[in-house]
Amino acid sequence: MSKTTELKAQPRADTGKEAARKLRAGGRIPAVMYGKDMEARGLSLDLQETQYLFERISVENTILDLVIEGDDEPVRTLIREIQSYPHKPGLLHVDFLRIQKGVAVEVEIPISLEGVPIGVREAGGILETIINEIRVKCIPSKIPEVVSLDVTDLAVGDSLHVSDIDLGEDVDILVEADRTVCSVQIPKVVEVEEEVSEEELEEGLEDVEGEAEAEAASEDEASAGEEG
C-alpha cells in the first residue's frame, strides 16, 4: 500500500493574483482541494514545509492527510497537480483531490527496475527504460507504493511489457498490455569524423597552395607559347 503522511494547511478565503502574491510574500502558497460531492475549498500551505515534504515522497501516489486549521479531523487527499516556476525552483500552487474510503481513484505508480540484466553484464548491452510509471485504478487502501520489476534475466534483445506486471485483482492497470516497459539493446555505434590536427591542416593548405601555383605556372607557359 502507498504511504500516508500529513501536511498542515490553513483555510484561504481570498482568491486572485493579488491575494496569491501576498501569500507568497509571506512564505506561503495557495492551494485548492476538491472532490466528489464537495465545493472546491481554498487553502494555503507553508512553502518550505511543503517543498521539503514533496522532495521526499512520491507525489504521484502518496496519500496526504491534510491537517486543516480549525477542522476537527484531517482530510485524506491525493496530489492532483503541482504548479512550479518555469525557470527556477519553487512551488506556485497545489491541487488536492479529496478521496473517500472504498471509492476508486486513478493514480500514477512509479516503476522500479531491480537488478542488472545478464545482457548488460555479459554481452555489453544497455538497459533502455521506455516508461517510468503506469496509471492504475483502485480504492485508496490498495494503491501500490511502487511497481518492482526484476530485469536480471534479460538478455540482449529481451524486453519487459506491461503484461508482465501483476498487481493483483484489486488494481486495474490502465495502460496497454503490449506497451514496452524496458529492453536490453546493443549500443549503437556512431561514427565520428576524425578531428584534423593543426599540422595536418597546414599540410593540406600547402598542398592546395602548391597545386594552385602549378596550375598558375602552367597557364603562364601556355600564354607565353601563344604569344610566341
CATH number at residue 63: 2.40.240.10
Cell, residue 83: 504548479
pLDDT of residue 193: 62
**pLDDT surpasses 90 at 124:** yes
pLDDT at position 217: 47
116 and 90 both lie in a single domain: no
- Domain presence at residue 226: no
Per the model's pLDDT, the better-predicted residue between 214 and 13 turns out to be 13
Distances (CA, A) of 219 to 91, 225, 227: 75, 10, 12
Domain of 131, CATH number, reads 2.170.120.20
Q: What is the mean predicted confidence (pLDDT) over 203-222?
A: 50
Highest mean pLDDT among 17-26, 159-168, 196-205, 207-216: 159-168
Helix (H, G, I), strand (E, B) or coil at 175: coil
The one-letter code for the residue type at 219 is E
Residue 93 included in any domain: yes
Residue 205 lies in a domain: no
Q: How much is the mean pLDDT over the chain?
A: 88
pLDDT, residue 2, reads 74
Q: Locate cell 487527499: which residue?
A: 77
Reported as a single tens digit per residue, the pLDDT across 160-201 is 999 999 999 999 999 999 999 999 999 987 666 665 555 554
Q: How far is CA 92 from CA 20, 79, 88, 193, in A?
A: 9, 14, 11, 47
Query: Residue 40 in 3-state DSSP?
Result: strand
Does residue 92 lie in a domain region?
yes
Q: Is the pLDDT of residue 227 over 50?
A: no
Residue 9 in grid coordinates: 494547511
Statement to judge: residues 15 and 89 lie in one domain = yes
Q: How does DSSP classify residue 97?
A: E
Find the angle CA(130)-CA(135)-CA(136) to the nearest 5 degrees: 140
pLDDT at residue 219 in the model:
47
Q: What mean pLDDT comes out for the span 36-52?
A: 95
Separation between Cα atoms, residue 116 and residue 147, nearest integer Å? 17
The structural domain count of the chain equals 2
Return the pLDDT at 207. Answer: 55
Range of the domain at 30: 4-100
Residues 177 and 119 in one domain: yes
Question: What is residue 86's three-state secondary structure?
Answer: coil
Instruction: With respect to residue 139, please indicate whether it lies within any of the assigned structural domains.
Output: yes
53 shares a domain with 90? yes
Mean pLDDT of 140-165: 97
Question: Do residues 160 and 178 make contact, with C-beta atoms less than 8 angstroms apart?
Answer: no
Residues 195/189, Cβ–Cβ less than 8 Å: no
174 domain-assigned: yes
77 vs 89, residue with greater confidence: 77
Task: State whether 54 and 91 are in the same domain.
Answer: yes
Sheet strand arrangement including 180-185: 126-129, 180-185, 159-161
Q: What is the pLDDT of residue 208?
A: 45
Tell which wins on pLDDT, 136 or 37. 136
pLDDT value at position 224? 45
